[in-house]
Structure 1
Amino acid sequence: MRKLYVGITNDEWFYNLRDISPEVVNFWTPGAKKFKALCKGEWFLFKLHAPQNHIVGGGKFDFFSVMSLENAWKKYSIQNGVYALQDLTSKVRAYRKNTGGDLEGNTIGCILLKDVIFLAERDWFLPPADWSRCIVRGKTYAIDSESGNYIFENFIKGMNRLA
């Protein structure tokens, strides 16, 4: 079964990366919880937070690892979606506000994505009808499901218009 994952992302992360258009990005998570939703080569798509609430791009999942903030910055620098280690540290601390901003061993989850595509705004599309407003991190879809097919077809259509 082929799958895709729609991950919710920070608008600033998306716009910073879209501006430089790298082929590889680190979709970092503030915790080190293992990401097991996809196999290598499956699509990981980006959905902006409400009120924008559109699927706007994506990349092919390569691998997941846990890294220190410093190592993630050294390895991926601006491919983390920020312009300095201090910015990355501040963002992680803000997302960990429920733990008082503690950096819990100074590690983050790193979801490495390759062949990244940033759709033109005209090709952004809304998530499917079964997308719940309660989703915090993201959701996996089988491509052959109704919702998965809707997402995949719209993404491919937007990707083809970029070519």
Structure 2
Amino acid sequence: MRIFVAVTDNDWFTLHASLDRVDEVNFWRPSPDATFKALQPGELLLFKLHAPLNYVVGGGFFVRFLQLPVNLAWDTFKEANGVRTLAEMRQRIAFYRRVPILPNENPNIGCIMLAEPFFWPKDAWIPCPNDFKLNTVQGKGYETESGVGRELWTAVSERIQKQLPASLMPGTAALAAVESRGYGKPQIILPRLGQGLFRILVTDAYQRRCAITGERTLPVLEAAHIKPYTVVQRHEISNGLLMRSDLHRLFDDGYLTIDPIERRVVVSKRIREEFENGKDYYELEGTQLREPIETWAKPSIENFEFHAYNVFL
């Protein structure tokens, strides 16, 4: 397994560390050309503060890197971006780019999205590895199976195990990492996603298009849960659909569903009975669902069956 020690903005860390609970974070980079290939999903990114605070102070489990419009990043993650407001986020991006952002601009930024983040109190901070050069701009990767990387992983693992029991529950990336003892490949997909990560990963899986209409206007697209979240208590990509906001509402309220086998839209007669309307929605009857390319992201039959037989009326 690999660890990446990333140089971290002190204010970004301080805001997150001040909060009672943080389920996910967007460790963003201001450049529209930024990339990140240092980790695979499930591997660990650690936060190292700027000098003179040369300590590793927390971390999170890597989920995905994407270039996202700043407005979408803010709308999705809010304070999980490490800022209080969208205006502050735009100001900080402009500061790092050294180029003003005009009011009507919505530039892309590089988003390193992390699940199950943790922020240690000062007495748990780990001194930065001796081979980590202080002029490093972005960060440095380590293998956890030997040498400096092994020492670092041992220290991190000890601190993870001292966290609240909830972080080491079955199905969490933290528990999987501890049980692996730093050896072997990480999990393919992080198991415990927050609402923001669920939205972004579903949006990406459906190529930013409504699964029913093909609509591409991002502000009106929403990530819907097929089997209600109140039932499953987890955000899973195979339980997600990207839908236009009005269709999402109708889907959640049981006015339309997806045939589990045919994967076609079925519209309830209740729309006509209750509202004496619905022509636009009945025209969608029989529409073939647009599904993700990746097999792991495709909705499961079980989830569609639950919706069709328990939510749809």
Q: Same fold (TM over 0.5)?
A: yes
Question: How far, CA to CA, are the matches of 1:140 and 1:101 in structure 2?
Answer: 32
Partner of 2:138: 137
Which residue type is aligned with residue 12 of structure 1? D
8 Å CA contact retained: 1:141, 1:148: yes
Comparing 103-112 with 27-36, greater Cα deviation is found at 103-112
* CA shift in 2, pair 1:101/1:153, >3 Å: farther
Pick the structure with more strand per residue: 1
Larger Rg: 2
- Bigger relative CO (Cα 8 Å, ≥ 6 apart): 1
Partner of 1:74: 75
Secondary structure at the residue paired with 1:112? strand
Aligned ranges for residues 59-138 of structure 1 at < 5 Å? 59-97=60-98, 100-101=99-100, 106-138=107-139
8 Å CA contact retained: 1:119, 1:159: no
Secondary structure at the residue paired with 1:162? coil
Runs of 4+ in 1 over 3 A off after TM superposition: 100-105
Comparing 80-89 with 30-39, greater Cα deviation is found at 30-39
Superposition deviation, residue 101 in structure 1: 4.0
Aligned ranges for residues 17-28 of structure 1 at < 5 Å? 17-20=16-19, 21-28=21-28
Partner of 2:37: 36
Partner of 2:285: none
Which residue type is aligned with residue 130 of structure 1? D
Secondary structure at the residue paired with 1:66? strand
8 Å CA contact retained: 2:71, 2:106: no
Runs of 5+ consecutive residues of structure 1 not aligned to the other structure: none
8 Å CA contact retained: 1:120, 1:158: no
Kindly tell me the number of residue pairs found equivalent between the two proteins: 160
What do you get for the CA RMSD once the two structures are aligned? 1.6
Partner of 1:162: 163
Comparing 140-149 with 7-16, greater Cα deviation is found at 140-149
Secondary structure at the residue paired with 1:62? strand
Superposition deviation, residue 124 in structure 1: 0.2
Superposition deviation, residue 145 in structure 1: 3.0
Runs of 5+ consecutive residues of structure 2 not aligned to the other structure: 165-313
Superposition deviation, residue 120 in structure 1: 2.2
